[in-house]
Structure 1
């Protein structure tokens, strides 16, 4: 099975596109993931929706918005709240993970491979079928 990230961006429009992808593919949603990191001494969140493969081709897309949401200890972000509420409405709990920042990696593809490993270890993604 091929598990690949599809980055949408970090803006509001990208976030609402992520929600729309989950809503229109609700029967395919495998997981909602919020992964947090510290970037330039500020806590940042990325949000991802993992979909089950659509066909026997075995392509499992992971749509995500990378490090675009500021996390403050005493204030819940509106985007994080909406993401959690959508997960609850689709009967999927949002899994929260702490990860390294993308700037620690020389290439975006290396960061995404790192995330796939973290997601597998935390059972957000199924193991590879050999």
Structure 2
């Protein structure tokens, strides 16, 4: 199975696209995720949705808006509230966790591999097969 992050942007207008993806793919949505970190002494959050793998090809997309939303634990904001409302509309909660910033990695691909490993270890996505 291939599990891959697909970056939509940093969460300004792309957050609305992320919410629409969740709405139109509701039967496939597994999790709504919030990854909290600190970038340049500023607490920020990445928002993501994890979809079930496709029937054919076994590709599992994880759509993400990376590090562009203020951390709602430090500064409540409308964008995070919209994401929470989208999760609640599907009877889900936003799973939140603290992670290293993407700047701690030489490339974004390494950062995404790190997040995939965390998600596998916590059983939010299936292990490699």
C-alpha deviations, 1:67-113, integer Å up to 9, x for none? Answer: 00112655411111111111111112110010000000001110000
Bigger mean CA deviation after superposition, 115-124 or 96-105: 115-124
CA contact (8 A) 2:44 2:70 kept: yes
TM-score by length of 2: 0.94
Partners of 2:57 and 2:74 lie apart in 1 by 44
What is the number of residues matched between the two proteins?
Answer: 129
- In the superposition, the TM-score normalised over structure 1's length comes to 0.93
RMSD, aligned CA: 1.3
Could you tell me which runs of 5 or more consecutive residues in structure 2 were left unpaired when the two chains were aligned: none
Work out whether residues 11 and 67 of structure 2, in 8 Å CA contact, stay in contact via their aligned partners in 1. no
Structure 1, 76-85 or 24-33: larger mean CA deviation = 76-85
1:35-74 alignment, distance < 5 Å: 35-71=35-71, 73=73
- Paired residue secondary structure (2:16): helix
